[in-house]
Amino acid sequence: MVTESDIEHIAELADIGISKDEVPEFTTQFNAILDYFEVLDTVQGESAPAVGITNVFRDDEPRPCLPQEAALANAGSTEDGFIKAPRVM
């Protein structure tokens, strides 16, 4: 059972903005979905070992990549060849 304050906390963790009037609806829907997920409590078996799966490695060699201009082409905000992000501090 998740509460409205849980929903606000999850939205915060996920960096998903949530408006005040959405909170009750999201809470109801979450609880219905989580109720349904309870069927997983009846799954038999402890863990799922990776069977027949191998890593695919390659040598770490420099290869051609996107030119700086193309890499910046879709950024909404740039400065001196860099992408501008919001302040962290």
Partner 1 sequence: MAGTLQFSPDDRYNAFITTCREAPFGDGALAGTAVAVKDNISTAGIRTTCASRILESYVPPYDAHVVGLLREKGAAIVGKTNMDEFGMGTTTETSAFGPTRNPADPSRVPGGSSGGSAAAVAAGLVPMALGTDTGGSIRCPAAFCGIVGLKPTYGRVSRYGLVAYANSLEQIGPMARTVEDVSRLMSVIARYDPHDSTMLDRPYDHQPSAEIKGLRVGIPEEYFGEGVDPRVAGTVRDAIGVLEELGAETVPVSIPGMRHALAAYYVICTSEASSNLARFDGVRYGPAVDTRKSWHEAYQDLRLELFGTEVRRRIMLGTFALSAGYAGRYYAKAQVARRNIKEDFERAFCDADVIAGPTMPTVAFRLGEKTDPLSMYLSDILTVPANLAGIPAISVPCGRVDGLPVGLQLMGRQFEDERVVDAAFAYEQEVRA
Residues that bind partner 1 in the complex, under the rule CB under 8 A: 2, 7, 10-19, 22, 26, 29-30, 32-33, 36-37, 39-48, 51, 56, 58, 66, 70-71, 73-77, 83-88
Distance in Å, CB of 1 to partner 1, minimum: 12
Angle at 77 between CA 72 and CA 79, to 5 degrees: 75
**DSSP letter, residue 78:** E
Of 37 and 80, CB closest to partner 1: 37
Q: Which residue, 74 or 81, is less far from partner 1 as judged by CB? A: 74
Distance CA 81, CA 9 (A): 36
Joined together, the tokens standing for residue 4 give: 């409205």
